[in-house]
Amino acid sequence: MQKLQNKVAVVTGGGSGIGLGIAKAFAAAGARVIITGRNKATLDKAVQEIGHDAVGLPGDVSDLSQLTGIYQTIDRNYGRIDVLVANAGVYIIGPLATFTEEMFDKVSDINFKGTFFTVQKALPVLNEGASVILVSSTVNGKGIPNHAAYAATKAATRSLARSFSAELLNNRIRVNTLTPGPIDTPLFTTITNNAEEAKAMAESMGNFTPVKRLGTPEEIAAAALYLASDDSAFMLGAEILLDGGLRDL
C-alpha cells in the first residue's frame, strides 16, 4: 500500500518550487492533494502537473478570512485533513539600514503570521493523529547579512513546531519542521532582473554550500513524505535539516 493512501493532504504555496515538489510526491504516494496559493493561473498549471485529481484553492495565508474559507471548502468536500504542509512563504532580504516597514510587514505577515494561522484555522478540520509540517529555512540558526527579518520569521517557524506539538499532544497531532537550504526553484527568477542574473545567483548559492550545489525539490519532498507518513510516528516537535551542510560545516 502507498504510504499516504486515502490521506487528505493540504500544501500551502503548492503552485511552484518546494511546495509543488511536495504535492507531487504526496499525490504519487496515494494522497488526495489540495494546494493553495495566491495566483490562480499558477495553481491551475500546477494541478495539471500533479495529476491524480489534485485540487487548487486560491488564497492568501496572511488573510485570515481567506484561510477560513479554504478550510470550510475542504471540510465540505473532504471532511478532514490528515497532512498539512505550511509551506507558503516569501523571500525578502535587504540591508538592515535600508529595510523598510513595508518589507518587514510583508515577510512577517506571510512567513510568521501566515504559518501560525495556517495551523490554527485548520484545527477544526485536522484529523486526530494528523501530521503537520512547517517549512522553515537553514538561516533559522545562522547569521547571514541582509537576512535579519527573513531569518527571524523562519526561526519563529521552527519554534512554533515545538509549541504546537506540546499543545496538540492530546489530539495525537504531530508538528515537525522541514528545514531546507538553497533549493533549485523558480525563486531566483522572482528576485533578480533577468535570466542571466537568476542563473548567476543560483550558481553562487550552490557554491556557498559545502556540497557545491543546490538541493532539488524532489530531495525536500522525500523528507516531507517521511514526516507525513507513519514512518515518522515517533517524531514530533523536531527538525529535519536538508541544507548541503551549510549550517554546520
Catalytic residue among 71, 78, 91, 150, which? 150
HSE on the CB side for 201, CA within 13 Å?
Answer: 17
Grid cell listed for 45: 498549471
What would the grid cell of residue 150 be? 527573513
Q: Which amino acid is at 4?
A: L
Angle at 232 between CA 29 and CA 172, to 5 degrees: 105
Residue 114, CA distances (Å) to 87, 173, 175, 210 in order: 10, 19, 16, 32
Rounded to whole angstroms, how far apart are CA atoms 123 and 205? 37
Closest CA to 169 of 115, 132, 137, 224: 132
Please state, in angstroms and rounded to a whole number, the distance separating the CA atoms of residues 214 and 206. 4
Q: Report residue 184 as a C-alpha cell.
A: 533549485
Under 8 Å CB-to-CB from 12, ≥6 apart: which residues? 19, 35, 36, 37, 61, 85, 86, 87, 88, 114, 118
**Alpha helix stretches (DSSP H) within the chain:** 17-28, 40-50, 64-77, 101-108, 114-120, 148-167, 187-190, 195-208, 217-228
150: annotated active-site residue: yes
> Which residues are known catalytic residues?
150
